[in-house]
Chains A and B, each alone.
Chain A
Amino acid sequence: MRIAPSITQRIAVSIMWTLAAVAMGVLAFIITYILWHGLPHLSWAFLTESPKSMGREGGVFPMIVGTLWVTMLAVVIAAPVGVATAIYLTEYTHEGKMTAAIRFGADCLAGIPSIIFGLFGFVFFVITLGMGLSVISGALTVALMVLPTIIRTSEEAIRAVPRAYRDVAYGLGSTRWQMVTRVVVRSALPGIATGVVLSVGRSISETAAVMLTAGSALGLPQSIFQSSRTLSLHFYILSREGISMTNAYATASVLIIAIMAINLSAYWLMRRFVGKA
């Protein structure tokens, strides 16, 4: 028996809607499940107190500070380098072997698993350079991880700047660097910012690499050369070692809320300034 094409079409389309609905359902379930169990335990005190007895009680203040340090440092290191790479690739050179090699490097870097970054950060920053398990080792490792994202998004944003802008800038007698900084980068800024915001999100959720490079000290880091536990690692340790489920849920809620806020702002940036997301 042959099924009529119109029926096949109906079946196929409804299967795909089901698949998408399942994916949406999984997302909704994860968020609701975590927030449902976590929000009741989330309080001002939880955010501003230090953990007591290995995290069984108390809050997550040092982990929030540690996460912010690692994330901010990583982005502050990676963003200038990434944007510079994008500017070089788009404005300062012609397509050739060198650009192909640089793009190959960025593509490969993007595919390397976080545990490999962790191993590398451990042997290079922690041991060879003698930085120890510290915020700075973690931040440098994460900076390498997010570099490809920043390069890719900045390059796309810069390429989207209309050619006419460049011609006008040259026509007004500006040098290449003036043209790049005052015209191209300025109008590509929202796109670049989106990449940076996404990198912040990636740094916050990173666990494996940070575990091997920033360590898991519970105290408040006094300087960037001290070890500090990030929120995601704290959540992992709390839940895996069964230390405190309520605190694990509350920590996960903080993470989920942060990630949602970051994704929303990236999405907003995209829509507002770059056109269709």
Chain B
Amino acid sequence: MSTMRAQIPVQSAARRPLLARRRLDSERVISWVLFLMALSALSGLAVITAFIFKEGIPIIAKVGLRRFIFSSHWYPLEGEFGILPMIVGSLMVTAGAMVIGMVFGLGCAILLTQYCPPRMVSIIKPAIELLAGIPSVVYGFIGVAILVPFIRDYLGGPGLSVLASSIVLGVMMLPTITSISVDALRAVPKSYIEGSIALGATEWQTTHMVVLKAARSGIVAAVILGMGRAVGETMAVIMVAGNTLELPHSILDPVRTLTSNIALEMGYAAGDHRKALFATGVVLFVIIMVLNTIALRVSRRRSKVKVLAK
């Protein structure tokens, strides 16, 4: 095979050496151009990291990392930059969203892969993809129009709250968790399921004792990536979280997240204030990167295990 492939250019090279050489060179040029374009994602990431850190690090150095992260005084005009309430806000909102997104997202994924007849799959799956396509501002708007008044009337508090943001973000996380979990659940070898059924287990026993165990790391990766989504979501959270600067004491209190802090104040911030917003971005960036790395690690371990199993 390879000798055949080599022969053809050699023949034409004998007849038209110039053309053949040019063709060989153009292949090398193409390869280099493709390589340079392939570097774009990596270099994009590098440039983004460099610029966010370049803008944000000086102010963290000036205020002091500990004070920047652990102080709860954010008075940008007086030079007080403490983002503890935003960090706590982001964490609370994400934790709540994770519970909701995991229950619903995993439920849908198990249903789609194990129990759902194909005709229903072809309805539910595109619907979940559509859920992922709806703009975050629309989610935020529905949250304000429906959820916030409901919470205010029936549960108390101002309505704009950790709870409202968690529910909105949970729904937004659902497609991420579902689609990645579906992949993980589909990757479980059929023989595991057949073996379990043959031993007399019911379908549900098979699901939670065999399938979920085998797909565990993929599901963990799905949930972590979903968390990344929730930590990073901006517009929907601005609309339903209330954006106060106080530390929340209950899930009915309003909060401000890291992302909304940036989006709300970027429009008019200048000087140190603007730099402090970039520093908020640095903290957010670090949280996201940690989550992404964990998710990548976990899912890579899964693929290694799969290779070994074969």
> Which residues of A does B touch, CB under 8 Å?
5-6, 8-9, 12-13, 15-17, 19-20, 22-24, 26-27, 29-30, 33-34, 80-81, 84-85, 87-89, 92-93, 101-102, 104-109, 111-120, 122-124, 128, 144, 147-148, 151, 167, 170-171, 173, 175-177, 198, 201-202, 204-208, 211-212, 232-233, 235-236, 239-240, 248, 252, 255-256, 259-260, 262-263, 267, 277
Contact = CB atoms under 8 A, between A and B. Distances in A.
B74 interface: no
B127 A24 contact: yes
Contacts of B194: none
A31 B269 CA distance: 36
Nearest to B44: A144
Given A5-B204, A13-B204, A205 B133 contact: yes
Nearest to A24: B127
B303 interface: no
Q: Which 6 A-B pairs have the closest CB atoms?
A: A113-B232, A105-B42, A205-B135, A19-B107, A9-B204, A84-B37
From A202, A212, A240, name the one whose CB has the most chain B CB atoms within 10 angstroms: A240
- Tell me if A's interface is mostly helix, strand, loop or mixed: helix
From A111, A119, A144, A167, name the one whose CB has the most chain B CB atoms within 10 angstroms: A119
B37 A23 contact: no
Contacts of B131: 23, 26-27
Interface stretch (B23-31, B59-67, B77-85): B23-31
A9 B135 contact: no
Contact of B45 (A30, A108, A201, A235): A108
Contacts of B231: 113
B5 interface: yes
From A13, A89, A117, name the one whose CB has the most chain B CB atoms within 10 angstroms: A13
A205 B234 CA distance: 13
A13 B103 CA distance: 14
Contact of A15 (B37, B107, B202, B228): B107
Contact of A17 (B103, B111, B266): B111
B171 A26 contact: yes
B281 A259 contact: no
A227 B48 CA distance: 22
Given A239-B239, A252-B137, 16 more contacts: A84-B34, A85-B37, A92-B31, A104-B42, A105-B41, A113-B233, A114-B232, A119-B266, A123-B51, A144-B48, A171-B4, A207-B235, A212-B266, A232-B135, A239-B141, A263-B126
A6 B202 contact: yes
A89 to B, nearest CB: 6
Contact of A116 (B52, B126, B171): B52
Contact of B134 (A30, A101, A115): A30
A20 B124 contact: yes
Contact of A109 (B27, B30, B41, B125): B41
A122 B265 CA distance: 14
A204 B21 CA distance: 47
A88 B40 contact: no
